[in-house]
Structure 1
Amino acid sequence: MRLLSRALRLLMPAFAVFVALLMGGTLVPRHADFRPTPDGVPIFVVSNGMHTDVVLPLREPRTGQDWLQRLGQPALTARFGQYEYVAFGWGNERFYLESYGGKFPKAGTVLRALLPGPTLMHVDFYRHAPRAGARVVPLRISVAQYQRLTGYVEQSFAPDSVGRWTLRNEAGYSPEDFFFYARGRYHALRTCNDWTNQALGRSGIRAALKAPLAASVLYQARRGAEKKTVR
């Protein structure tokens, strides 16, 4: 016990420094010069307090992007053809699946999520655009930025042997959301919010250097949204 106690005392300062550096990444922006595009593609960064998603137009005529066609699920096309937006999120498979019914995952699941584990894409259909608010940041981005963003989202899905995206479950938390198999491993340094943050940053949109929490993602996205638009 003495050895364990001593080891913990030695590790705590290092852990505190690690957390400080991680959280400090929230305040350091990538693409600080980002400006919204007035007639650009409307997107939204949305949070439920813990997770973040990017909400995109279901169809975008300037790029020809049609998410229902890309998902390749005839049943979803029939059901959601009149909807206007679709949200994408990425996260730990067990954490997602144990959250059904509004439940919080077991402690063991939370701890295991610190280590590399399998992931899912969460796809949620919106009948209309979400309203701006404390947990919803609207942005207007250029066509080129949107194309990079859609490319990032597409690359996050895990295709089957013939290149199709595969449903993990026939239903999600509601009748309007679903889970697909995803690429990548979830762990303490690669979280659901880090995925959203990377989606923005790699597309040329203002994002945090590191975003372990939903608030980190929203903070930098909102700072970007508040900048004067590009003319």
Structure 2
Amino acid sequence: MHAALAFLLLFFGGTLVPVNRQFRQTPGGILVFVVSNGFHTDLVLPLRETRTGTDWLRQLAQPTLTTQFAAHEYAAFGWGSEQFYVESYGGNFPKVGTILRSVLPDRTLMHVDFYRQAPRPGKKVVALRISTAQYQRLANLIRQSFQPDSLGPTVLRNAAGYTSEDFFFRARGRYHALRTCNDWTTRVLRKTGVRTALKAPLAGSVLWQARRAR
């Protein structure tokens, strides 16, 4: 009983405990975004970042995507359960059984969505300006989340995702109750040096600490 209570306090109470509380935004720095749909969080980065020489279309190494999205300006990256993502196709909410099974380890996917322009800051969008060194760390951590194979640095799972502008790639790592999609966002931001929660199982936890970083 006591162990279960301690677990719940850490799991949800960790939201209130900041990590990297000394983080300050960089004036004139690179603009990135934390975006939520209410349940899940993505990191939105410039599709091409000149100061660091980062080009995500080149990193993804998918010629069809390079041609299709050359005029877009931003890309969103999210990590999560393969089964949960796949059962969300067509605007469907995953079945109860899928949600319950999410406490067990599952294979993972990277979800990549292309934006024509930067998202507008609001209730579910937090803008952050970070240094070039922080951006390079952030980009490397995202890049390392993709599962490569012998043919290239990324493996495209489907020809399309929820819309004509988003796609799923094979990812590293296993999804389970203690490592959720929002934990991935938190972990990547924390290793980048951005202020985050100690534990952020919910999207609101991620956004709350990101706003305090402003």
TM-score by length of 2: 0.98
Could you tell me which amino acid in structure 2 is paired with residue 52 of structure 1?
A: T
1:112 is displaced (CA, Å) by: 1.4
Q: What pairs up with 1:118-133 in 2 under 5 angstroms?
A: 118-133=107-122
CA separation in 2, counterparts of 1:181 and 1:215?
26
Calculate the aligned-residue CA RMSD, in Å: 1.0
Counterpart residue identity of residue 28, structure 1: V
Q: Work out whether 1:142 is the aligned partner of 2:131.
A: yes
Residue 34 in structure 1 maps to residue 45 in structure 2 = no
The residue type paired with residue 198 of structure 2 is L
Structure 1: where are the runs of 5+ without partners?
Answer: 1-10, 226-231
The residue type paired with residue 165 of structure 2 is E
Q: Which amino acid aligns with 2:205?
A: S
| Corresponding position of 1:108 | 97
1:167 to 156, 161, 172: 156
Q: Per-residue displacement from partner, 1:178-223 (whole Å, max 9, x unpaired)?
A: 0000000000000000000011000001111111000110011110
Amino acid at match of 2:74: Y
In 1, distance between residues paired with 2:160 and 2:52?
Answer: 29
Q: 1:53 maps to what in 2?
A: 42
Return the letter of the residue paired with 1:145.
Q
Give yes or no for the alignment of 1:179 onto 2:168.
Answer: yes
CA apart distance, 1:224: 0.2
CA contact (8 A) 2:61 2:152 kept: no
1:84 CA displacement: 0.4
The structure 1 segments of at least 4 consecutive aligned residues displaced by more than 4 Å after TM superposition are: none
Gaps of 5+ in 2: none
Q: Residue 187 of structure 1: SS of its match in structure 2?
A: coil
Aligned to 1:202: 191
Give distance in 1, aligned partners of 2:171 and 2:57. Answer: 17
Deviation at 1:164, TM superposition (A): 2.7
Q: Aligned partners of 1:73, 1:130: CA distance in 2, in Å?
A: 24
Aligned partner of 1:228 in structure 2 is none
Q: Which amino acid aligns with 1:51?
A: H
Alpha-carbon separation, structure 1, partners of 2:61 and 2:28: 29
Name the % identity: 65
> Partner of 2:172: helix, strand, or coil?
coil
Match among 156, 181, 184 for residue 145 of structure 2: 156
Alignment counterpart, residue 23 of structure 1, candidates 12, 32, 36: 12
Q: Tell me how far 1:14 sits from its aligned partner.
A: 3.7
Q: How many Å separate the matches in 2 of 1:84 and 1:44? A: 13
The whole-number CA distance in structure 1 between the counterparts of 2:23 and 2:138 is 15
Q: TM-score, normalised by structure 1?
A: 0.91
